[in-house]
A and B are shown apart, each in its own frame.
Chain A
Amino acid sequence: MILSENFRVAFSAIRANKMRSVLTTLGIIIGVAAVIAVVSIVQGLQFMMNQEFQGVGATYMFVFPDTQQGGGHGVVLARQVKLTWQDGQAIRDQVQGIKMITPVIMGAEVVKYRDRSHRPEAVSGVNEDYPEVANHTVDRGRFISRIDLQHRRKVAVVGQEVVDELNLGADPIGKEIYIGSLPVTVIGVMEERGQALGRNRDDLVFVPFDAALTLFGRAAGDQVQLQIQAASPEMVEEVKDGIQRVLRQRHHIDRGEQDDFQVVMQDEILSAVNRVLGGVTAVVGGVVSIALLVGGIGIMNIMLVSVTERTREIGVRKAVGARRQDILVQFLIEAVTLSLVGGGLGLAIGYGLGALVSAVIPGDFPPAYVPLWAVGLAFGFSAVVGIFFGIYPAGKASRLDPIDALRYE
């Protein structure tokens, strides 16, 4: 029998039982929707991670004070967990294989220019190595220099978002703005980086490290973050060990006590993220295979009902010349069509969910993105489920005796 006729019959049967068909395919709808939603979100996360880390490279690492681990084991009163730029300088001087290192302290301050004011996502105090460590350079003007730091100049480098918000115009260089109550001169504009990991990386202000201490208070200097580029990827482990050795010594951490800081390397971040994403994918994979199984059984069930309901139709078709394989193919195509319709609905719902999630997550989660392979996978799985669970009812239909089928009430 001609294929188009089979699809015609399948669609007319589904149309005749809309509600039943949708309920039947619910398992497949849920399964496919879950796959698509998760894939679109995971893809977004991976895209974001790539954006975040593609620049900094495998030699990037950072150190931060670990207030949870520090201070012994709870019985002993916690000594204050500190990480200072003096620690950073010691690391720079004593650890082999460090190419660059910058302290980073961040705070929230309002910036003002004339009658405009704006609160950027962060005001960061850094040194002249920051652009190369973070692989984020200036677009116009220049970054904070060693001379700026030495002379404690009141200067700032801003992101494009800040330029726009403060209405600094086409040539912001040399303009005087206020950070809190501190007047600074804009010396550069960072190149635009867009948004990643919920942060707008154009909505930043950089000031010399000392200026930041003035702004945030001296205590902020006890809680710095150190961002580092190692000389080569091979040296990363060695550098990490060196940092631990120097800091443990400087912080007087005894053998057996835990570090009061953490050294994180880029590949650790990526592998941690990948572990989480892998876990999510595995859980969803489990849910999906259960949903598809249930969906497939639903389809088998409804196809058995359909075969019984349409016994007479099968009899008529056989009487006018349908062969067994014609009937088999007809009902198989109906099962596959049913599950493909479910797959299509699931695809739409999954895409909607992904879009909803990316819209609801605050910050700048990238828009949901469903790669073509996921669409293919969704429809492929639906078709396989349809064939697998449709074959028994279709076989039953094809083996019906035409005389009995015609007599069926």
Chain B
Amino acid sequence: MALIEIRNIYKIYDMGAEKVHALNGVNLEIERGEYVAIMGSSGSGKSTLMNLIGCLDTPTSGVYRLNGVEVQELGDTELAGIRNKEIGFVFQTFNLLARTDALHNVELPLIYSGIPRKERRARAERALQRVGLGERMHHNPNELSGGQRQRVAIARALVNEPSLLLADEPTGNLDSNTSREIMDLFDELHQAGNTVLLVTHEPDIAEHAWRQVQLRDGKVTDDHPTSRASAANNPVETPRGASPGGEETPHGASLQ
């Protein structure tokens, strides 16, 4: 059974005079452990698709199964539960809570899962160590750099061990060096077994994925494996993007 199974999904917005077909019969299957980039220009429907996959929204028609659950049938409260347990969001604008420190930001999903305080804290600390921020747990977002903020957001996405990491333009607000570091982190998370879904319009970011899905006018126009997928078959080649200069500490150790 695929992790994500999308069958003939339509999303139609009623804008009064006209009906906008944001998604026009999308079919998509994503297996556990895949690393997929959804690409498309603005207006292609990729944001709408991401919202549906992220259970922030429900389709007008069609079937969406996540982990075997038919999401399109669910109500508000059940959707919140699925977002909490199955999905880890990473946003372009980080979307951290400003007045609380990194640790508490990471704890947030666990609070809504009703995890007791002690365990919450321990798991949040582990997640922050995993993204290389073990030293900065008690800094508020405004005391952190853009890259560090996105790491906090990634730790928050990971902390409840979701089935799917859903990243919407995760490097859109970062400079190219920091972008590379963040993408390295996604690569590592993928290698560690996470299912990663990137939504992006930047080809070089999409290159990190092993599979690219192209959307246009609410339809999938292209779906192919990338060069990384074939590279993975060749064990000699090292993963791309290992940062030169060595300013970034490797995360491999904390990944285990």
A residues apposed to B, CB below 8 Å: 1-2, 5, 12-13, 16, 312-313, 315-326, 402-403, 406
Residues of B contacting A2 with CB < 8 Å? 111, 114, 117
Residues of A contacting B111 with CB < 8 Å? 1-2, 5
Residues of B contacting A402 with CB < 8 Å? 56
Residues of B contacting A5 with CB < 8 Å? 111
- Are B89 and A320 within 8 A (Cβ)? yes
Which chain A residue has the least Cβ–Cβ distance from B76? A324
Residues of A contacting B84 with CB < 8 Å? 320-321
CB distance from A321 to the nearest CB of B (A): 2
Distance between Cα atoms of A315 and B77 in the complex (Å): 15
CB-CB under 8 A for A406 and B91, given A320-B83, A321-B113? yes
Residues of A contacting B161 with CB < 8 Å? none
Write out, one digit per residue, whether chain B residues 92-110 have a CB within 8 A of any chain A CB (1) or not (0).
0001110110000000110
Known pairs A321-B80, A321-B83, A406-B56 / 6 extra A-B pairs, C-beta < 8 Å: A1-B112, A2-B111, A12-B100, A318-B56, A321-B109, A323-B80
Residues of A contacting B109 with CB < 8 Å? 320-321
- Are A403 and B83 within 8 A (Cβ)? no
CB distance from A322 to the nearest CB of B (A): 5
Distance between Cα atoms of A12 and B99 in the complex (Å): 7
- Are B99 and A16 within 8 A (Cβ)? yes
The reply to whether the CB of B54 lies closer than 8 angstroms to some CB of chain A is yes
B residues apposed to A, CB below 8 Å: 51, 54, 56-57, 76-77, 80-81, 83-85, 89, 91, 95-97, 99-100, 108-109, 111-114, 117, 156, 160
Distance between Cα atoms of A320 and B113 in the complex (Å): 10
- Are B56 and A320 within 8 A (Cβ)? no
- Are B80 and A322 within 8 A (Cβ)? yes
Which chain A residue has the least Cβ–Cβ distance from B111? A5
Which chain A residue has the least Cβ–Cβ distance from B112? A321
CB distance from A86 to the nearest CB of B (A): 84
Distance between Cα atoms of A320 and B80 in the complex (Å): 8
- Are B97 and A323 within 8 A (Cβ)? no
- Are A321 and B85 within 8 A (Cβ)? yes
User: Shortest 7 CB-CB distances between A and B: which pairs?
Assistant: A321-B84, A321-B112, A320-B109, A323-B80, A316-B95, A402-B56, A323-B77
- Are A323 and B57 within 8 A (Cβ)? no
Distance between Cα atoms of A317 and B112 in the complex (Å): 9
Distance between Cα atoms of A319 and B99 in the complex (Å): 18
Distance between Cα atoms of A187 and B99 in the complex (Å): 77
Residues of B contacting A326 with CB < 8 Å? 80, 112
Which chain B residue has the least Cβ–Cβ distance from A320? B109
- Are A323 and B95 within 8 A (Cβ)? no
Which of A313, A321, A323 has the most chain B CB within a 10 Å cutoff?
Answer: A321
Distance between Cα atoms of A12 and B97 in the complex (Å): 12
- Are B77 and A319 within 8 A (Cβ)? no
Residues of A contacting B113 with CB < 8 Å? 321
Residues of B contacting A324 with CB < 8 Å? 76-77, 80
- Are B54 and A319 within 8 A (Cβ)? yes
CB-CB under 8 A for A318 and B95, given A1-B112, A403-B56? no
Q: List 12 A-B contacts (CB under 8 A).
A: A16-B99, A316-B95, A318-B80, A318-B83, A319-B54, A320-B84, A321-B84, A321-B109, A321-B113, A324-B80, A325-B77, A406-B91
Distance between Cα atoms of A403 and B84 in the complex (Å): 15
Distance between Cα atoms of A319 and B96 in the complex (Å): 12
Distance between Cα atoms of A325 and B76 in the complex (Å): 10
- Are A406 and B112 within 8 A (Cβ)? no
Which of B95, B100, B113, B160 has the most chain A CB within a 10 Å cutoff?
Answer: B95
CB distance from B167 to the nearest CB of A (A): 13
CB distance from A20 to the nearest CB of B (A): 15
Which chain A residue has the least Cβ–Cβ distance from B108? A320
Distance between Cα atoms of A105 and B84 in the complex (Å): 86
- Are B76 and A313 within 8 A (Cβ)? no
Which of A324, A326, A402 has the most chain B CB within a 10 Å cutoff?
Answer: A402
Residues of B contacting A312 with CB < 8 Å? 95
CB distance from B200 to the nearest CB of A (A): 17
Distance between Cα atoms of A406 and B91 in the complex (Å): 9
CB-CB under 8 A for A319 and B56, given A1-B111, A2-B114, A324-B77? yes
Distance between Cα atoms of A5 and B80 in the complex (Å): 18
CB distance from B23 to the nearest CB of A (A): 14
Residues of A contacting B80 with CB < 8 Å? 318, 321-324, 326
Distance between Cα atoms of A321 and B109 in the complex (Å): 6
Residues of A contacting B81 with CB < 8 Å? 321, 323
Residues of A contacting B95 with CB < 8 Å? 312, 315-316, 319, 406
CB distance from B186 to the nearest CB of A (A): 18
Which chain A residue has the least Cβ–Cβ distance from B83? A321
Residues of A contacting B160 with CB < 8 Å? 321
Which chain A residue has the least Cβ–Cβ distance from B113? A321
Which chain B residue has the least Cβ–Cβ distance from A319? B89
Distance between Cα atoms of A317 and B83 in the complex (Å): 10
Distance between Cα atoms of A320 and B77 in the complex (Å): 12
- Are A322 and B112 within 8 A (Cβ)? yes
Distance between Cα atoms of A87 and B99 in the complex (Å): 82
Which chain A residue has the least Cβ–Cβ distance from B89? A319
Residues of B contacting A325 with CB < 8 Å? 77
